[in-house]
Amino acid sequence: MTSLDINQIKQYLPHRYPMLLVDRVLTWESGKSITAIKNVTVNEEFFNGHFPNKPVMPGVLMIEAMAQAAALLSFLTMGKKPDENTLVYFLGIDNARFKRPVEPGDQLKLDVEIVKVTRGIWKYKARATVDGQLAVEGDLMCTLRMVENGADKVAAVQ
């Protein structure tokens, strides 16, 4: 399918700076996979304290970037854009492994594929690389929920 720029991504994800961690979608195939990128720049807030003398992107944010790419894939697969009451909750990660640090100037390439969808639970295999070198990988689980007046509805978004 066609690529998505940052303005199109913002139509699918509620995240905004500094928590929007997907800059561009390169390719995606409905029900299958997505490839996106996160450009890592030295002026990102987290580098002020992680670490001042040797800036490294926190692992939890690399996982969050993969989860955001997974959320994009879910919405694109369903063929609908979320409204202000639709959220994707990150349920868990299994088999997370960090293989190399991610530093300012790196481009994190996010590859996520859908493993299965069962009763509103989406499972994905995700990996992120820098210049072809594996940085992080893991198995993600997410769910889409409707939220009204700050409270979850019982039903998942299908």
Classify each residue of 41-50 as buried b or exposed e, where b means 16 or more C-beta atoms within 10 Å of its C-beta. eeebeebeee
Q: How far apart are CA 33 and CA 18, in angstroms?
A: 25
Tokens of 27: 């390719």
Tokens of 21: 């961690």
C-beta of residue 37 within 8 angstroms of C-beta of residue 105: no
Preceding omega of 18 cis (within 30 degrees of 0): yes
The catalytic residue among 10, 15, 24, 50 is 50
Residue 50 appears among annotated catalytic residues: yes
DSSP category for residue 22:
-
Q: How far apart are CA 9 and CA 6, in angstroms?
A: 5
Q: How many residues does the chain have?
A: 158
Residues labelled as active-site residues: 50
